[in-house]
Chains A and B, each alone.
Chain A
Amino acid sequence: MSLLALSNVSVRYGRLVAVRGITFSLGEGEILFITGPNGAGKSSLLRAIAGVTPPSGGRIDFAGHDITGRAPEDIARFGLAMVPEGRDVFGGLTIEENLMVGTGMHSATRGWKARAATGLEAVYATFPVLKDRRHAQAGLLSGGQQQMLAIGRALMTNPRLVAIDEPSLGLAPNITDQVYERLIALLAMRKLTLLIVEQSSTRAMMVGGRMMLMRGGEILLDGDARALGQSEAMQAAYFGYGEP
């Protein structure tokens, strides 16, 4: 059974339609890149899945629950962790406080404190730079460090699916490399399902996995990242000449 399933999902802002009837599903352990040019509806799709912008039509199922129109805090409890575009770290909170915010939803369960402490150590092991500055204000971190913090913060919720919106946004290429290096290392250590939104397909081709190409609120292509990346259809879809 798939972890995440969308059927005919649309998102609109007033009269503007951002996502037009998208259907796809994502299995446990899969890595899915959603790529596409600016304004393709990628972020809107993620926001709909996270419950921030409820879909105007269609149905979303996640981890065995119908989450269509549910509140973000409920969807987070089912195991969806978001790393939004621009990272949205809590700048006035310390790094450790940022990491701890997401553990609260498990505070009703037995032994959550011990689990939170273990989670914290695991995040620090993956991102040692965060440990060094654990009591510093998150707003003082560099862009790359904030990206790592946002990913670490998502992991602290003990998620089944981590959705990352443009991890490379505003980062120098070598910093983006580091972020991806850490992500790949993480995948080797724990079972995770990843949904990553990126504008370009380069990262998807490097990391591998599945890739979907969006344009104009629709999915144009869906397949193996490496195979798709080299196809002519991909080029055409990106640059908009010819029919994909």
Chain B
Amino acid sequence: MGSLLQVLFDALSLGSLYALGALGIALIFGVMRLVNFAHGDVIAACVFALLWPSVDAVAIIFAGNLPWYLLVPFVLAIGAALSVACEALVFRRFRHANPATMMIASFALGFVIRYFLLMLFSSRPKSISLLPALSQPVEILGARIPLLQLITIAVTMAVLFGLTAFLRRTRFGLEMRAAAENFTMARMLGVRANRVIMGAFALSGALAAAIALILGSQTGTANIMMGASVMLMAFIATVIGGMGSLAGAVLAGFLLGAVATVMQVILPPDARAFRDAFVYGAVILVLIFRPQGLLSARGTRERV
């Protein structure tokens, strides 16, 4: 019972990370058909925003020392600002380019961010203790669950409900949903293209920052590559979720988390090192049977 619960919480918290990542990618894909591969590097940049630039192994904490109620908004704001800057400086120039060109631009931008971090902080992972109070375990029905896991899951749920309410109840959310379905038609109804795209980037950046906070506290390290693995899984989640479908992205994110966690448990110990290969195998199977994704988004195909 206890260990089953542990697996469940592991799956949910890993799935939360993937779901948040997938959501950040799907939001931007929805409004501008851009697969933003720089997303992972925005995550890394958010972690490093807590530190002073230095190439030492020991991190010099800057914002990381703030109390959590200042730290969290600070990191979210950094993520949103960086993401909006990416849009204004780079992606806006590519708005009428074809999706492949935009995707390559996003790769390039990701490398620019990554090497900028490399220059300031070196490639050596730094140990940081971010929100150390969260690593305490909590006992639930005989299972020892790290408090951070519970908070990760709770925060993800709160983000999902908040985002849903935002998209369904607010004027800006309505405009964003309309623009995601048919951008040209939305513009002909007076929806400002720049405002909607900026909003999508700001939200996506804030989601990246949330991942950064969770990853930073979970691993206790800051590493310039730390966004890349989440980004890859998150991207896969958006693909199996059905490109541009937000609900699909979240669902697939949790599904991937669950598959990865369950494989970790059921695979023979020798094969566990190759867990990700099995996960990708499962992804290929899904795509063979549902190439359009689990929930295919409206307006993805007929878009001109």
Chain A interfacial positions (CB closer than 8 Å to B): 50-52, 71-73, 76-77, 81-82, 84, 88, 90-93, 97-98, 100-102, 104-105, 107, 139, 153, 157
State which residues 255-304 of B face A: CB under 8 Å: 298-299
The answer to the question of B174 belonging to the interface, with a C-beta cut-off of 8 Å to chain A, is yes
The answer to the question of B7 belonging to the interface, with a C-beta cut-off of 8 Å to chain A, is no
Q: Provided the pairs A72-B184, A101-B174, A101-B178 are in contact, do residues A92 and B298 lie with their beta carbons within 8 angstroms? A: yes
Contact B188–A93 (Cβ < 8 Å)? no
Query: What are 29 A-to-B residue pairs whose CB atoms are below 8 Å?
Result: A51-B188, A52-B184, A71-B187, A71-B193, A72-B187, A73-B187, A73-B192, A73-B193, A76-B190, A77-B190, A81-B188, A82-B188, A90-B181, A90-B182, A91-B181, A92-B298, A92-B299, A93-B177, A97-B177, A98-B178, A100-B174, A101-B175, A101-B178, A104-B171, A104-B191, A105-B191, A107-B171, A139-B298, A157-B189
CB distance from A52 to the nearest CB of B (A): 6
The interface size of chain B toward A, counting residues with CB under 8 Å, comes to 19
Cβ contact of A91, chosen from B188, B191, B298, cutoff 8 A: B298
Note all chain B residues with C-beta closer than 8 A to A102.
189-190
Chain B interfacial positions (CB closer than 8 Å to A): 171, 174-175, 177-178, 181-182, 184-193, 298-299
Contact A157–B190 (Cβ < 8 Å)? yes
Nearest neighbor of A102 in chain B, beta-carbon distance: B189
Note all chain B residues with C-beta closer than 8 A to A107.
171
Contact B185–A76 (Cβ < 8 Å)? no
Note all chain A residues with C-beta closer than 8 A to B299.
91-92
Q: Complex formed: what's the CA distance from A76 to B174 in Å?
A: 18
Q: Complex formed: what's the CA distance from A71 to B298 in Å?
A: 25
Nearest neighbor of B184 in chain A, beta-carbon distance: A52
Contact B177–A90 (Cβ < 8 Å)? yes
Say whether chain B's binding surface is mostly helix, strand, loop, or mixed: helix
Nearest neighbor of A72 in chain B, beta-carbon distance: B187
Q: Complex formed: what's the CA distance from A97 to B181 in Å?
A: 13
Contact B174–A104 (Cβ < 8 Å)? yes
Nearest neighbor of A150 in chain B, beta-carbon distance: B185
Contact B181–A76 (Cβ < 8 Å)? no
Nearest neighbor of B193 in chain A, beta-carbon distance: A73
CB distance from B234 to the nearest CB of A (A): 22
CB distance from B302 to the nearest CB of A (A): 9
Having A90-B178, A90-B181, A90-B182, one finds 10 other A-B pairs with CB under 8 Å, namely: A52-B187, A73-B187, A73-B190, A81-B189, A88-B185, A90-B177, A92-B298, A97-B178, A104-B190, A105-B189
Q: Complex formed: what's the CA distance from A71 to B185 in Å?
A: 12
CB distance from A13 to the nearest CB of B (A): 12
CB distance from B248 to the nearest CB of A (A): 12
Cβ contact of A101, chosen from B191, B193, B298, cutoff 8 A: B191
Which of B171, B181, B190: most chain A Cβ within 10 A? B190
Q: Complex formed: what's the CA distance from A101 to B185 in Å?
A: 10
Nearest neighbor of B173 in chain A, beta-carbon distance: A97
Nearest neighbor of B189 in chain A, beta-carbon distance: A102
Cβ contact of B190, chosen from A84, A98, A105, cutoff 8 A: A105
CB distance from A14 to the nearest CB of B (A): 14
Q: Complex formed: what's the CA distance from A98 to B184 in Å?
A: 14
Note all chain A residues with C-beta closer than 8 A to B178.
90, 93, 97-98, 101
Note all chain A residues with C-beta closer than 8 A to B193.
71, 73
Nearest neighbor of B175 in chain A, beta-carbon distance: A104
CB distance from A137 to the nearest CB of B (A): 9
Contact B177–A153 (Cβ < 8 Å)? no
Contact B189–A93 (Cβ < 8 Å)? no
Note all chain A residues with C-beta closer than 8 A to B177.
90, 92-93, 97
Q: Complex formed: what's the CA distance from A52 to B178 in Å?
A: 17
Note all chain B residues with C-beta closer than 8 A to A139.
298
Q: Complex formed: what's the CA distance from A76 to B185 in Å?
A: 11
Nearest neighbor of A92 in chain B, beta-carbon distance: B298
Contact B184–A101 (Cβ < 8 Å)? no
Q: Complex formed: what's the CA distance from A90 to B178 in Å?
A: 6
Nearest neighbor of A153 in chain B, beta-carbon distance: B189
CB distance from B155 to the nearest CB of A (A): 27
Note all chain A residues with C-beta closer than 8 A to B188.
50-52, 72-73, 76, 81-82, 84
Note all chain A residues with C-beta closer than 8 A to B190.
73, 76-77, 102, 104-105, 157
Q: Complex formed: what's the CA distance from A98 to B189 in Å?
A: 10
CB distance from B194 to the nearest CB of A (A): 9
Q: Complex formed: what's the CA distance from A111 to B174 in Å?
A: 20
Note all chain B residues with C-beta closer than 8 A to A104.
171, 174-175, 189-191
